[in-house]
Amino acid sequence: MNTTRPVLIFGATKGVGWLLAERLCSRHRKVVALARASERGEALQQLGVSVIEGDVSDAVAVERAFTVAGQDAVVVSTVSGILHEGCFVDEAGNMMITDVARGWSPYRVVLLTAIGCGEMRPYRSQQAVEAFGHIVDAKSRAEEYLRGSGLPHLLIRPGGLLDGPSTSQAELTSAPDVHGNVRRADVSALLEETIEQPDLDGQAFAVIDPTLESAARRRAATP
């Protein structure tokens, strides 16, 4: 594993993206992040992140971030949210990242989506469909777009994301019918372990923590 390879993070201002940036900077890795002016750019800089100001929906800003990260960077996207009514960053933002990445030579594009995406769709509970269906469908379309791009990629699908300290019990699984929750801290740790693992190109994994009560009840949950 090349531990000197730059890591470009989209979505580093909060949640799993922030925790991943924090972990990587503590290892003295080169980390680049795109952040809007209104978000936590200054705090990221204090961690040691090279922050590019801009929005993931802006091709010029995304291109600038790739330029700073350089060729052969690992690209990680944890972006999520609503751009405007009916349009999710989960889809449009991640498609923009994929489009720009085609002009570079990233080591890998790692997309953080959610349990229920892709081939997991038939196993979603009615409760999950009603609560998160539109978001998960948007994430699924982003996955398919990345898969069709020809770029080396890895899909990570966490269950319901929880705050709190790591339990160190989170697991990657390819089982399509799995449900459950997981701590953000554990997802960030698994990302650090897997984003450069050479035998994972083109694969998709769900992430749950089987020690959490919700996983034992197999209750469907998404970010």
Tens of pLDDT, residues 16-63: 999 999 999 999 999 999 998 777 788 999 999 999 999 999 999 999
Distance set, CA 182 to CA 45, 60, 113, 119, 213 (Å): 28, 35, 13, 20, 10
139 CB burial (10 A radius; 0-12, 13-18, 19+): buried
d(CA 27, CA 39): 24
Q: Is residue 220 over pLDDT 50?
A: no
**Element holding 7 (H helix, E strand):** strand 7-10
If pLDDT is split at 50, 70 and 90, which confidence band does 85 have? low
Q: Is residue 71 over pLDDT 80?
A: yes
User: How many C-beta neighbours within 10 Å does residue 149 have?
Assistant: 15
The CATH code of the domain at 7-216 is: 3.40.50.720
Residue for token pair 């052969």: 72
**Boundaries of every domain in the chain:** 7-216
pLDDT in tens, 190-214: 999 999 999 999 999 999 999 997 5
pLDDT for residue 132 = 64
* Contact assessment for residue 107 and residue 30, using Cβ atoms and an 8 Å cutoff: no
DSSP state of 96: H
